[in-house]
Each structure stands twice: as structure tokens, then as C-alpha cells.
Amino acid sequence: MAYLGAAYLWVKAAHLIFVIFLMAGLFMIPRFFVYHQECAVGSDEDRKWIDREQRLLKIILNPSLVLVWVLGLMLMVEIGAWSFGWFHLKLLFVLGLSGYHGWIASYAKKLARGQRTMTDRQLRLLNEVPGVAAAVIVIAVIVKPF
């Protein structure tokens, strides 16, 4: 333990807690989109879904993503993770999930403007992205295949 000292385990625990929050939100919001698309644009129900999606993004997803990155970078420096092959795989998938988060936020804005550019099936398939990414990340970190 280099610079974090006794705080290392607390930082690691906080990182995992915010990863769980982030993943929960990334699993929830595409389902919100599926239900949102079923209602009429401009309806009272439409406004409720817009509000739900914005609250999920602002209260859970956005802060969790920032904290996951900050805490994760602290851990990366602490253990010298850059020199490990498994870390590069994890980083690749974390970058992918961060991009997915950005896409989610942009699609929420489209729905708020009344644009429904994806089908329910496409949204349901996209709901699998965080699960696949999480599986790869967990295997990379726990098994350390290389």
C-alpha cells in the first residue's frame, strides 16, 4: 500500500458500492425507455417518464459514474494496475460502459424531445450490455487471466 495506507480498503469498498449503484441504474434505465416509448408524446405519462429518467440520471447514474472513475483511478495508482494485462481488459470495458452511459443520457434527451428512434426490441437487447460488460470485468479482476 503506497499512498492510501489504511484508507485503501475503504476506497476499494466505496468503489465497489458505487459500481453497484451504477450497474443498477444502467440496468434500470433501458427498461424505463421501453415503457416510456409506449406512451403518447406530450401526455401526462410521457412527462412522468421524462422526470423519472432525469432523476435516475442526475441522482444515481451521473454521480455514481464520476465516483467510480475517481475511486477506480485512486486504486489503479495504489496497486500499479497499469502494468497488469487484466487491467487493460477491465479498462477497455469500463470505457465501453462509460460510453454506454453517455449514449443512455443522450437517448433520454431524445425521448424527452418526443423522438423515438429505437424499437422496444433494440432497447431490450441493449439492456444486456451492462451485464456482459460486468461479467468480463469481474472475470478480469478476480481470475486475472493474463
Q: Which residues are annotated as a binding site?
A: 15, 90
How many CB atoms within 10 Å of residue 36? 22
List for the chain the helix, strand, coil content (%; round to 5): 85, 0, 15
Longest dimension (CA), the chain: 56
User: Which residues make up each annotated binding site for heme?
Assistant: 15, 90
DSSP state of 126: H
* Alpha carbon distance 35, 47 (integer Å): 12
The residue whose grid cell reads 459500481 is 19
Q: Residue 44 is placed in which grid cell?
A: 401526462
Q: Which of 13, 12, 16, 27 is nearest to 97 (CA)?
A: 27
